Structures are given as structure tokens and as C-alpha cells.
Amino acid sequence: MTPTQRYLFDLNGYLHLKNVLSGTELKEAQDTVERCIKIPPDQLPHGWNFSFDKSLEALTMHPVTWPIIKELSDDKPRLNRGSLAVDTHEKASITPLHCAREGQGWQTRRYEVKNRRIFCNDIVAFFYFTDVYPGDGGLVVVPGSHKSEFQRPEGLFFLDLSDPNPKLHPALKNITPQAGDVIVLSELTTHGVLIWKPKDRDRRFLLLRYKTQYFQDEQGERYVYGQELLGRLSPETLELMAYASYQHTKEIVKHDVIHLS
């Protein structure tokens, strides 16, 4: 991580990285997503859409985000899931604010700073393929909440989850990425999703979830990898997805740039 990224992530609990994808990377990913969303969901491996094409699979270790994932996991990363999201105006409800501390066991998630590096054992990267403009809706976060020590008062932020135009509390921030941008978020940072308002555009992005390689995910059973999925992936990605002991160092973390073979 650069000193600026480290400062901002520590301050806010997330990073908004602009123009991460080159023009070619973005176009290839957009074309892939267009093809992928035409396939009936029951014919795609649930939660694993990133395996659909190398243009998406390569994003799991993109040269801009990979050093960040390595630092946050203290060089012990595991890709836990990679799914596409397409958000349209038809979803008529706000996704309530949530974070991994609530409902998944506050004891299980950590955010620490040690030896001038940040450690975080539950990370998500959102790769955006379409633009979000102020007023559209989409992701909202409570900046700084990854360090919050108090329970969030019930009903503080959203009272009516069907309201497409809620008045945002000043502690909330609506994030408006452009296509090619990436949001890296600690799952300890409280976040939710406003109703998507545009009728002529949707919000498309890839969610890549990372844990430490020795963290036993509470949803692991739901997302067992089928042979069909595993057969499509490159050895580097399979290594990224592998559980391993705390002592083990994966070959992929020794490199900042990974080429999928």
C-alpha cells in the first residue's frame, strides 16, 4: 500500500481507487458481464461468477489492488468468493446498514495496525463496470466505523427502507464510483445500499471477498467449489482460493504482478 492509501484506509475504513482498469481491461470485463448476465442464474455456479472468463478472474489479483490485499491480509490472503452484482431500479428496498461485527460474531473480525502496516481479516473489493452519479443511489458507508466501539443505535440512519430519497445523515457517505474504479472496504466498516433510481442504467460490479487463508468462513459450506469451477481456473487463482496454515507463505504473495497461466 502507498502511504496515502494506508492513511485513507485507516481513517475511513475504505478506499476509493480511481481509474484502476485500463480501457482494454474495462471493455473486456464489460463485454464479459454483458454475456454472463444473459445466462440463467441456475446455470452459473452461485457466488462464483468471476470464473466465467479470464477478464474477470484476472481482477482477483489486479496489479493495483493486489499489493493492498496482500498488506491487509498480512500476506496470507484467501479469495473467499467472487460474484457479479447487477443492481436495477426494480429492487425497491434499501439494503440496511450492516457490517461483519454485527451478526457474524464481533470476536471473529479484526482491524489492527502493526509495524506500520494495516491488518484486516475480512476485505471486499468492488470492481465497477458502470458509472454511478450523485443521486443515483448505490453504496453508502459510515466512514471510520471500522473502529467503532459502540453499538449502532437502532433506526439512527434509515427509518423507511422503501424510501428512494432518504435524507442522508451527515455521518453517511454515498460512494459514486465511475466505471473502472474500485472500492476496497473492510467488512468492519458499516455499509448499506440505497435504492437504485435510474431506469435507463443499472449498477454493475464484481464483488471479490477475501479473508486470511487460515480464517474458517462461517458460510464456507454454502460456497463449496464444484469441480466444474475449479477446472476453469488458473493455478494462481486456485492457490489464492486455498486454505492454508498461518505459517505457510503462498507463492503468489511473493509477486506484485501475477500473470494467470
Chain residues that interact with ligand AKG, rule: CB under 6 A:
85, 95, 124, 138-139, 191, 193, 207
Can you tell me the distance from the alpha carbon of 50 to that of 28, in angstroms, rounded to the nearest whole number?
13
- What 3 state SS string does 231-244 have? HHCCHHHHHHHCCC
Taking the complex as a whole, how short is the minimal distance between the CB of residue 77 and ligand AKG, in angstroms? Answer: 18
Nearer to ligand AKG, 28 or 202 (CB): 202
Nearer to ligand AKG, 120 or 193 (CB): 193
Taking the complex as a whole, how short is the minimal distance between the CB of residue 209 and ligand AKG, in angstroms? Answer: 8
Cβ neighbours around 255 below 10 Å, total: 13
Q: Give per-residue burial for 120-144: e unless 16+ CB within 10 Å, then b.
A: bbbbbbbbbbbebeeebbbbbbbbe
Taking the complex as a whole, how short is the minimal distance between the CB of residue 212 and ligand AKG, in angstroms? Answer: 18
Dig out the grid coordinates for 88 from the structure: 436495477
Residue number closest to ligand AKG, CB atom = 139
Nearer to ligand AKG, 95 or 234 (CB): 95
Taking the complex as a whole, how short is the minimal distance between the CB of residue 205 and ligand AKG, in angstroms? Answer: 7
Can you tell me the distance from the alpha carbon of 59 to that of 125, in angstroms, rounded to the nearest whole number?
10
Nearer to ligand AKG, 184 or 207 (CB): 207
Pinpoint the alpha helices (H) of 113-165: none
Nearer to ligand AKG, 157 or 239 (CB): 157
Taking the complex as a whole, how short is the minimal distance between the CB of residue 254 and ligand AKG, in angstroms? Answer: 29
